[in-house]
Amino acid sequence: MAITLAEEIMLLSLDDESGVPEQRRAAGWAAAGGILLELVLAGRASVEGKYLKLTDRTPTGERLLDGRMALLDAWLRGRERRRVTEWLKRERGKAGDAAVESLCARGVLAEQQHRALGLFPTRRYPEADGAPERELRQRLHAVVLDGATPDERTVGLIALIHAAKLHRLACPDVPRKQVTDRMAEVASGQWAAESVRAAIRDMQAVMAAVAVAGSVTAGS
């Protein structure tokens, strides 16, 4: 089953049994960045410096991406471009929720309703099918810990994880410096085609700007 970068980010964030997210705020930023990165790689959008624009409105065939692309088109409102940070701030919470909804539709997660303190309705999303997350973690382990050569999608995923400081979610039992050093190497390396590297560099720069502003925190 091929799942999107945003869905992979949310799988890492959600506890398998309780369905409660960890580092929810940072994961939301990374999910928003993941959707945008996939639109860029699919030739539907471009990020040039601080600005974002749509270049092709043809559907990708992926429901999650097409739904967010339609919202992006409406948000642009006829403008040729707008600041990437404005879009990511708008999408930070919504992109993660949309990715979780997509995972439920795929049968990877199950939605459960609870009442906090017996009063307030809440939703949790425990895993219903563990295969996608197992494959995901095996792929990350191979690249980050075993030194395997990554494919382009894995480079993009690791760049997002690194930019949003989600290292602990990706490799929870490994010393942080070991993980951050390898992820930095992968994110800035020559593993992908130049067009892919350019898209990743642009997204990293935007995510770094968000982090400097204090909007992404590892503990939130």
Residue 217 has pLDDT above 60, yes or no: no
Give the residue numbers spanning the domain of 180: 5-211
Confidence of residue 219 (pLDDT cuts 50, 70, 90): very low
- The answer to whether residue 83 sits within a structural domain is yes
Residue burial 44-77, b: 16+ Cβ < 10 Å; e: rest: bbbbeeeebebeeeeebebebbbebbebbeeeee
Confidence of residue 218 (pLDDT cuts 50, 70, 90): very low
- The answer to whether residue 132 sits within a structural domain is yes
- The answer to whether residue 217 sits within a structural domain is no
Residue with the bigger pLDDT between 108 and 85: it is: 108
- The answer to whether residue 219 sits within a structural domain is no
Number of structural domains (the chain) is 1
pLDDT tens digits for 25-56? Answer: 889 999 999 999 999 989 999 888 788 999 99
Q: State the CATH number of the domain containing residue 10.
A: 1.10.3630.10
Residue 212 has pLDDT above 70, yes or no: no
Residues of the chain with pLDDT > 90, as a percent, come to 59
Alpha helices in the chain (DSSP H): 5-13, 24-41, 63-76, 84-106, 131-140, 152-163, 167-170, 176-188, 194-212
- The answer to whether residue 216 sits within a structural domain is no
Average pLDDT over residues 5-33: 91
- The answer to whether residue 60 sits within a structural domain is yes
